[in-house]
Amino acid sequence: MMLSGDIPPNQTIYIKNLNEKIKKEELKRSLYALFSQYGRILDIVALKTAKLRGQAWVVFSEVTAASNAVRQMQNFPFYDKPMRIQYAKTKSDCLAKADGTYIPRDKKKKQEEKADRKRRGEEPQRSATANGTTSDVNGGPNASFGKPSAQESAAAPNNILFIQNLPHETTSMMLQVLFQRYPGFREVRMIEAKPGIAFVEFEDDVQSSVAMQALQGFKITPQNPMAITYAKK
DNA sequence: AGCACA
């Protein structure tokens, strides 16, 4: 059964019904945070033009990651709007570039690359671009553990988690998006005067522990593995 | 609703 609107599986997912008020950079960061749990993200494309606002493309390194994302994040409430997710209709440029199959489209006519005449053995030159992958590296589903810095793991379990090493631009919405999938999630609290940290509350300390294990070391950006400990009582 | 690659 092909519920995804009859579009065949693709490494790239197409998301629509996104909140158009969110600035492009924040949107990309949040999408990255949200979707990197399904696998390695190679690129995210979002434009704010009249035609393209409210939509985004997330390029995964594996089709299976895209499939899981399409299924599991379907209708996920994101900035107060349910995401509508499909497979992308075409192959992303960043993948074609990695392939060596990338053919630059001419700026004039946007849509005349249907003509794939087999004119002799005219292969695209797989030269410089073949290695031009910009694969940002996140850890994937169970990312590398960046162990908490100074004070260690020996804090008593608590239903409240203490998150450190967040990028300063992190918003509580971004964290909510990450943590709310874990049972018992209550709320995220951030302190304006203290960027880079947050508190995330669960109903009990078993549930908070599950979330901590799952998201320990999670990278919102490649430079920012989350350091999660129990909050002090 | 809207499928791009600034």
Residue-wise pLDDT tens digits, A84-103: 999 999 999 999 999 999 99
What pLDDT does A122 receive?
Answer: 41
pLDDT at A146 over 80: no
Task: Give alpha helix (H) positions in chain A.
Answer: 24-35, 63-72, 93-99, 172-179, 205-215
What pLDDT does A132 receive?
Answer: 30
Q: How much is the average pLDDT of A213-229?
A: 90
Q: What angle do CA A73, A58, A207 make, to 5 degrees?
A: 35
- Chain B: positions less than 7 Å from a protein CB are 1-6
User: Do A11 and A92 form a contact (C-beta atoms < 8 A)?
Assistant: yes
Q: How many residues does chain A have?
A: 233
pLDDT at A110 over 50: no
The Å distance, CA of A25 to C1' of B3, is: 20
The neighbour count for residue A65, using CB atoms within 10 Å, is 23
The Å distance, CA of A25 to C1' of B6, is: 14
pLDDT at A120 over 50: no
pLDDT at A112 over 60: no
The Å distance, CA of A43 to C1' of B5, is: 10
Q: How much is the average pLDDT of A162-181?
A: 94
Read off the pTM: 0.66
